[in-house]
Amino acid sequence: MVMKVHGAVLSTAAMRVFATLYEKDLEFEFVPVDMGAGEHKQERFLALNPFGQVPFFEDGDLKLFESRAITKYIAHQYKDKGTQLVCEGKPMATVSMWMEVEAHQFDPVASKLQWEIVYKPMFGMATDAAVVEENEAKLAKVLDVYEARLSQSKYLGCDCFTLADLHHQPALTNLMGTQVKKLFDARPKVSAWVADIMARPALAKVLAMRNQK
Amino acid sequence: MVMKVHGAVLSTAAMRVFATLYEKDLEFEFVPVDMGAGEHKQERFLALNPFGQVPFFEDGDLKLFESRAITKYIAHQYKDKGTQLVCEGKPMATVSMWMEVEAHQFDPVASKLQWEIVYKPMFGMATDAAVVEENEAKLAKVLDVYEARLSQSKYLGCDCFTLADLHHQPALTNLMGTQVKKLFDARPKVSAWVADIMARPALAKVLAMRNQK
């Protein structure tokens, strides 16, 4: 039975899962959830994920929500397929640490910036310049840490591309088209890392899904 | 070489690591960081964790920050010691999903409530009643999901106590002494789960560390 991903092509969380599946060369069925119509907050979807968030994932009997739990499952369960996105033992502990850094240091700030600069204008709402300024300052500090890390290691988790890098792709897809790009460009190692991870064919396949709607 | 945890006994993130080490019956050295004096924001500590947060963890050559990466490392690396806090394969995917739920659904709300009700008064600051009300409503919704889950499963991740439960202990330690307790008490399965996980001897050892200062 083929894996299923219930989600939306513009959802950054769903994009993480699509990118992982394409990196692993795994077949999957995309089940669109019409978030514009609020389908993710309706009873039928809440029975799948009571928190009302995409993506929802099925692999036979296994049903999962929370994008980072899904990508970890896929990477470990199908470790012999496609790109090796995780490793074992002590090196995995370091990869895991940088995955937590993405989730707790990068993503909260990147999400606020995406909301203000990308999504609010899309919904006809006004961007709050003070929130943007505050979060650009926070992002700059996070990227200083990334610059130091990427001076020692080709990728965040280790010398190979892993989930620690991949989890950043959706936010970067949104932010690199905005004024925030300057914060990445100002840091040579970060800038090279962004160029590298944004050029991955698997990500191109995720972005191509947007044209297939 | 014995493992080292740099942290503070009142830090909820450090408590997660201490609780894990006690559950695993592992010896460790506690290196106190004087957060009141801002030691975690000073150069010496920033060289260990550039984000300036406790805990920082050492196991020989391996150096880690981010509490949830540390607990996962300990649970996997020392899987044959003490309490089995993780498992393998598909059951682990479900445990991992509930760990993400703690990190992304429970903790942001619980942290705001702890800040308003526990820490602000401690620092002589005024609690913002509107923020408390908003976050109590959010917590109630999260606990409704927990009540449904705990009606099907003894613990959040599976029928055994795992990291998915343990990661909640520090916030619960703070919140169960406040007005927020009523939200847990109102839900029988949640209430029984809280009583169970708060009675673990490993947690008692963590709390006893506060008296050894």
Q: What is the number of other CB atoms lying within 10 angstroms of the CB of residue B147? A: 17
Domain boundary (B39, B62, B82) is at B82
Q: What is the pLDDT of residue A213?
A: 55
Please name the residues between 32 and 91 in chain A that touch chain B, using a CB distance below 8 Å. 50-51, 61-62, 64-66, 68-70, 72-73, 76-77, 89-90
CA distance B11 to B13: 5
Domain presence at residue B149:
yes
- Give the model confidence (pLDDT) of B38-63 as tens digits: 999 999 999 999 999 999 999 999 99
Alpha helices in chain B (DSSP H): 12-23, 43-46, 67-77, 89-101, 107-114, 120-122, 129-150, 163-166, 169-175, 181-185, 188-198, 201-209
What's the number of domains chain B is made of? 2
Contacts of B69 in chain A (CB under 8 A): 93, 96-97, 99-100
Inter-chain residue contact A104 with B99, CB threshold 8 Å: no
- B77, B85 contact by CB (below 8 A): no
Specify whether the CB–CB gap between B18 and B5 falls below 8 A.
yes
Q: From chain A, pick out residues whose CB is under 8 angstroms from the CB of B96.
A: 69, 72-73
- Whether residue A69 and residue B104 make contact (CB cut-off 8 A), yes or no, is no
Give the pLDDT of residue A88.
Answer: 83
For the beta carbon of residue B15, count every other beta carbon within 10 angstroms: 27
A33-50 per-residue burial string, b: 16 or more CB within 10 A, e: under 16: bebeeebbeeeebeebbb
State the DSSP code for B52.
-
Q: Residue A97: its chain B contacts at CB < 8 A?
A: 64-66, 69-70
Are B94 and B195 in the same domain?
yes
Shortest distance, CA B148 to any CA of chain A (angstroms): 9
Domain that holds residue A8: 3-82
Chain A and chain B share a number of CB contacts under 8 A equal to 71
Q: How many angstroms away from the CA of A148 is the closest CA of chain B?
A: 9
Q: CATH number of the domain that B149 lies in?
A: 1.20.1050.10
Is the domain of B174 the same as that of B103? yes
**Same domain, yes or no, for B52 and B140?**
no
Residues of A in contact with B61 (CB under 8 A): 90
Q: Is A105 on the interface with B (CB under 8 A)?
A: yes
Residues 135-164 of A with CB under 8 A from B: 144-145, 148
Residue A206 located in a structural domain: no
Best A17, A45, A104 residue to mutate vs chain B (most B CBs within 10 Å): A104
**Same domain? B145 vs B44:** no
Taking CB atoms and an 8 Å limit, are B97 and A148 in contact across chains?
A: no
| A33/A54 same-domain check | yes
- A143 part of a folded domain: yes
pLDDT one-digit tens code per residue, B59-116: 999 999 999 999 999 999 999 999 999 988 899 999 999 999 999 999 999 999 999 9
Specify the pLDDT at position A8: 96
Q: What amino acid is encoded at A147 in this protein?
A: E
Q: What is the pLDDT of residue A212?
A: 78
In a domain, A109, yes or no: yes
User: Do residue B137 and residue B196 come from a single domain?
Assistant: yes
Q: How far is A211 from chain B (nearest CA, A)?
A: 31
> Are B136 and B184 part of one and the same domain?
yes
Which CATH number characterizes residue A20's domain? Answer: 3.40.30.10
Question: Radius of gyration over alpha carbons of chain B, in Å?
Answer: 17
How far is B206 from B202, CA to CA, in rounded Å? 7
Q: Are residues A101 and A164 in the same domain?
A: yes
Together in a domain, B128 and B180:
yes
With beta carbons under 8 A apart, name residues in chain B contacting A100: 66, 68-69
- Residue B211 covered by a domain: no
What per-residue confidence (pLDDT) applies to B203? 98
Cβ separation B77–A66 shorter than 8 A: no
Q: In terms of DSSP H, where are the helices of A40-166? A: 43-46, 67-77, 89-101, 107-114, 120-122, 129-150, 163-166
- Measured between CA atoms, the residue of chain A closest to residue B61 is A90
- A51 and B90 within 8 Å at the Cβ level: the answer is no
Task: Tell whether B17 and B74 lie within a shared domain.
Answer: yes
Q: Is residue B111 part of a domain?
A: yes
Please tell me the predicted confidence (pLDDT) of residue B213. Answer: 55
Of A69, A76, A93, the CB nearest to B62: A93
Residue A192 domain-assigned? yes
Q: What is the pLDDT of residues B145-175, one digit of tens each?
A: 999 999 999 999 999 999 999 999 999 999 9
Residue B206 lies in a domain: no
The residue of chain A with its CA nearest to that of B148 is: A50
- Both B109 and B180 in a single domain? yes
**One domain for residues A116 and A191:** yes
pLDDT in tens, chain A (213 residues): 899 999 999 999 999 999 999 999 999 999 999 999 999 999 999 999 999 999 999 999 999 999 999 999 999 999 999 999 998 889 999 999 999 999 999 999 999 999 999 999 999 999 999 999 999 999 999 999 999 999 999 999 999 999 999 999 999 999 999 999 999 999 999 999 999 999 999 999 999 998 875
